[in-house]
Amino acid sequence: MLHCPYCGTKANEDEHYCIKCGRALPNDITDRLHGKKQFNKFWYIPISLFTFLLLSSGIYYFILQNQTAEAKTLYEQGEQRILDEDYEAARELFADAVSNKENFAHAATSLQFMNKALDVQKIMEDANTFVEEQDFQQALSLINEAESDLKNFNGDAVKQLIDTIITKRDTIKVEQLKNELEKETAIDDLKLLLWEAASIDNEEAESMELDIRNQIIDYSFSKASNQLNNRHFNDAQILVEDGLKYAPDSERLQSLQSTIEKEKEAFETAQEQRMEQAIDTAEKEQQLNETDAIELISATVESNDKKNIVIKGEVESVATIPIHSVLIEYVLLTDNGTEILSDEVYIYPDTLYPEEKGQFEYTHFDSNDYDQDVDVEVRKITWYTN
């Protein structure tokens, strides 16, 4: 049962006002009198809160989506700056990307890489200073350090930076080679520089490599030719073979090597022939020295004032070595060829040297008994060679 809220009188179910005080009944009273339930106003609070939260979540999600999209855009722009090697601008873009999206791992890693890339750029600038001071070893040490700093990173951008480092290293090595070649370089140093030039993947280094090879070829060819002219075939061959180690395709050295082999063979053949000739000559000389070393120039018969027969004569050595104790054996003959006597006499001097002449003379003191003319005939000449 409902009552009037003003006077407490029982409310009339058919009327909208109090019978006693005549005042209009509130809507909630009339609604209840007619069987209607009243809506509780306290429900507005959770409904409003839910609506607020839903709307806030939507707005936050929208903001997050925009930030993510912006972060991705900044990241892509940073990647493009890397390709342009503008690492400072790339670093700022990656930093902005991380600010827009805190859990953006790729951007965070790229930002870390950019910091390292900028350090590498600074190292390469320092290396340039050392190159200007011609301290090439220190410059190369810095370049190696820069490459080592990137070993924990990977990807196309890292590969690009490493390629830049490798190119820089090759450039420094080329400058170092230029500096060395400007000096008075020994052949052994040239050989070492050749391998250094060959290890550099650079067009200028290739040109320098070719120049060094040509210097080695010229040196080897010149030295080997001198040895060849002096008939030092083995030394010439060694020089050519050494040169071919560094210039295996050199036609000049290959041709000289063939020439050396032919000249060596011809010389050895001629030497064998000379040895054979020498042996033959020695045999002939030995035969000459043993059988025909003395040539009889003259042998005469004279009479002295005592009418004694005097045998005189002269010989010449045609030997090739000294001979001594030359003995002349002769006979005296009458006009009709009858042998009167035979005798022998040594010549003087006792030793005859090649082409030297010697004489002999002998007086027959009992020859005055011969009253006819006589002649002398040398029958035999003997000598010693040692």
Task: Check if the beta carbon of residue 130 is closer than 8 Å to that of residue 98.
Answer: no
Average pLDDT (53-79) is 62
Among 12, 50, 47, which Cα is nearest to 29's?
A: 12
pLDDT band at 373 (very low <50, low <70, confident <90, very high): confident
Hey, is 26 helix, strand or coil?
Answer: coil
Angstrom distances, CA of residue 361 to CA of 26, 52, 315, 368, 374: 195, 163, 12, 17, 16
| 59, pLDDT greater than 60 | no
Q: What is the overall mean pLDDT for the chain?
A: 80
| Contact residues for 380 (Cβ-Cβ < 8 A; gap 6+) | 329
CA–CA separation, 226 and 136 (whole Å):
38
| 198, pLDDT greater than 80 | yes
pLDDT band at 202 (very low <50, low <70, confident <90, very high): confident
For 185-231, give the DSSP string: --HHHHHHHHHHHHT---HHHHHHHHHHHHHHHHHHHHHHHHHHHTT
pLDDT band at 62 (very low <50, low <70, confident <90, very high): very low
| 92, pLDDT greater than 50 | yes
pLDDT band at 240 (very low <50, low <70, confident <90, very high): very high
Task: Check if the beta carbon of residue 57 is closer than 8 Å to that of residue 135.
Answer: no
Higher pLDDT: 275 or 6? It is: 275
The model carries a pTM of: 0.52
- Return the pLDDT at 61: 46
CA–CA separation, 297 and 318 (whole Å):
12
CA–CA separation, 110 and 106 (whole Å):
6
Residue 315: beta bridge partners? Answer: 296, 358
Domains of the chain listed by start with CATH number: 1-38 (no CATH), 48-181 (no CATH), 188-268 (no CATH), 292-384 (2.60.40.10)
Task: Check if the beta carbon of residue 177 is closer than 8 Å to that of residue 193.
Answer: yes
| 372, pLDDT greater than 80 | no
- Out of 72-76, 172-176, 231-235, pick the least confident: 72-76
